[in-house]
Structure 1
Amino acid sequence: MSAPPPPDPFAAAPTDSRYGPVADHARQYAASGGADGHDWNGAPTLLLTTLGRRSSLPRRTTLIYGCHHDAYIVVASNLGADLHPDWYLNLRHHAAARIQVHGQLLAVHARTATPAEQPLLWDLMAGIWPDYDAYQRATQRPIPTVVLQPDFRHMPAQIAR
């Protein structure tokens, strides 16, 4: 007899961002199956669910995204703060994540863009959200771009609208 598969760590209800407007946006996005909340201030957004680096529990936030080839691209700007955002630190510890784009739920594998990829991906994202350039000027840390590559081996069910 084979052992049962391990439980899905993303099955538990996620904890939303501690920042009220971001948490409200995430809940609105999720509740509407992405119909309400995908477009935010003229930019496309997705829901990112990571696993907490200490708790291993699901943590959810909304992020502006772009697409490059078959991957989704996000920026760990933290509005130009000197510290990386929690979601980025979580991804550095657990690269497996989930995203929701409109009503589509995808398993992804996250990685920081390589130095060779960074200029192209930064330009892509600054074209979508020009404030990223101001955020970079506001901090001493290099702001990473993150590649979210769909992982078709672990594809969850689609979101019902």
Structure 2
Amino acid sequence: MTSAMDLHGAAHVARYLETDGADGHDWRRGTSVLLLTTTGRRTGTERASALIYREWGDAYLVVASNGGAAAPPAWFVNLTADPEVTVQVRADRFRARARVATAEEKPAMWAAMVEAWPDYDSYQARTDREIPVVVLERA
């Protein structure tokens, strides 16, 4: 069986769902992963993404980096069209509302996310797009 540390994309999501996050929540370099489910803006299909996160008070933070690509990840485009999402942290699955961190909030939130995954700084350096921090607040 493939280690959760080696999982990406759909395989990571499937393992996380099968095990309620027991296999897939703890990931590389001490990071933690949640599942974010958004609704496709064109298809209406729900899609889950495995994303590195940090707790922020009662909320959760994720970064729409797409590895520093010029275009944001599809999940981010979908949640800008419909901010009502589902989040799963280990076995805890709940409805949430997604929003982009404000200019005032972002520096501290970005620092917390870079602490979790230092590569975010290099992703930002690769693109002219300002990579957003997304705040997921329980509905």
Q: TM-score surpassing 0.5? A: yes
Runs of 4+ in structure 1 over 2 Å off: none
Counterpart of 1:37 in structure 2 is 24
| Equivalent pairs, count | 132
Post-superposition offset of 1:53: 0.8
Give per-residue Cα distances to partners, 1:43-96, cap 9 Å, x unaligned: 000011000011121011100000111000000000000100000000000000
The SS at the match of 1:134 is helix
Counterpart of 1:15 in structure 2 is none
Does residue 150 of the first structure (1) align with residue 138 of the second (2)?
yes
Post-superposition offset of 1:101: 0.3
Letter in 1 for 2:27: W
Does residue 58 of the first structure (1) align with residue 46 of the second (2)?
yes
Letter in 1 for 2:62: V
Q: In structure 2, how many angstroms separate the alpha carbons of the residues matched to 1:37 and 1:72?
A: 17
Counterpart of 1:155 in structure 2 is none
Counterpart of 2:115 in structure 1 is 127
Identity %: 46
Q: Output the TM-score relative to the length of structure 2.
A: 0.93
Letter in 2 for 1:46: L
Q: In structure 2, how many angstroms separate the alpha carbons of the residues matched to 1:131 and 1:59?
A: 25
Structure 1 gap ranges (5+): 1-19, 152-161
Q: Output the TM-score relative to the length of structure 1.
A: 0.80
Structure 2 gap ranges (5+): 1-6
- Higher helix proportion (structure 1 or 2): 2
